[in-house]
Amino acid sequence: LIDEVTQDNPSMPEFVERLQQQAVEVQVGLTRTGIGFSKGISYNLDGVALSGTQLGKAYTFCGLQKHRGVSYYKGRDNALIDALMQPQHLANAPSEAEENELESSEAELAATLSATANELELSQSELNTTRPATPATANELELQLSILPERNETQWQKVRSHLAIEYSLPLELLDLLYSHSWLYAGSEKAVFTGRTLEGEARFAFVLDELGNFTTTHPLSSEAAFWVATTGEIERAVIACNPIEALSILLIEQDNSTTAPPTIYLGIERASQLPIQFLQELDSVIIAMAEDYMLARNASELLPNAEIVSPQSSWNDIWIQLIEQKQQAQQQNNQQYKQRIQEIELD
């Protein structure tokens, strides 16, 4: 049935509506996250419910676009899909006589919400800069504050300098993370926030001056330290802590300008991985240099993931690249000075 309704490459709202007219209940999850919208879709026919993942990769929200020709544009389609998800619409799919009226009302709704849809579009430069979701209640705010170490703004410059010198992390990157509270100073230690994909803080990685990580209050699964490059995420790289995740990001940005939009995650336990989200991506790489057990646990949850195991830590590799560039720059400067000295003028 799904193959039939996608033969003419419909839009996502058209795809949903056609299935509803065939008595297939469709649920689409369009929750705003720090990397865009979650791509969840499920189907229910005669009381038998299956997720897109259960049906196969081509029938997930992302797979429908890539393998079945279903088009999807956030600003155009979100309001229409929301309208199709309303209870009254699910109970009574439109007849042919009602289709024009529905089309008109959906267009009007889309126009009314266009400003909101534009706000939900990610505006990014080098890194995804969407702020974490604002807690809905005072209790949730109090909970988030209680699970993270207290901020110490007077120590930020010291922590910032330590991260830049010890790990060769660019100051611009550190400032960007700090501006979104994904990194800050707690006492004299660096605190990296562990978040859900919706941006809710759940725990923290704390890095001391000796290079040791500890974690605080891991309240739930599917929360990790993560950053993402711009665009609809197609790929994930999983590392064993925030420094390693950021180092891989920097290595890839330095070596390639054609890498697909990628989310880089730093985890302590495999249970923190957003498995359903990762299963829908084209590529998942488990890149853990120093934690074989964690890599094995992650690969058991993601059997199709590629495993990459370098000989040294990713941060060591990044530092070596920086040193090589500095040496090359020094050589170029020396050669330039020598050429200047050899110039003869009348």
Residue-wise pLDDT tens digits, 240-268:
999 999 999 999 988 766 778 899 999 99
Is 75:122 a contact under the CB 8 Å cutoff?
no
Is 51:40 a contact under the CB 8 Å cutoff?
yes
When the pLDDT of each residue in the chain is averaged and rounded to a whole number, the result is 77
Integer CA distances (angstroms), 11 to 7, 62, 97, in order = 11, 13, 21
pLDDT at 318: 93
Helix (H, G, I), strand (E, B) or coil at 104: helix
Q: Return d(Cα 309, Cα 300) in angstroms, integer.
A: 16
Q: pLDDT of 267-278, one tens digit each?
A: 999 999 999 999
CA 8 to the chain's CA centroid? 31
Q: Return d(Cα 41, Cα 23) in angstroms, integer.
A: 16
Verdict on whether the full-model pTM lies above 0.85: no
The residue ranges of every structural domain in the chain are 2-120, 141-325
Residues 97, 101, 104, 109, CA torsion sign:
negative
Q: Return d(Cα 130, Cα 137) in angstroms, integer.
A: 20
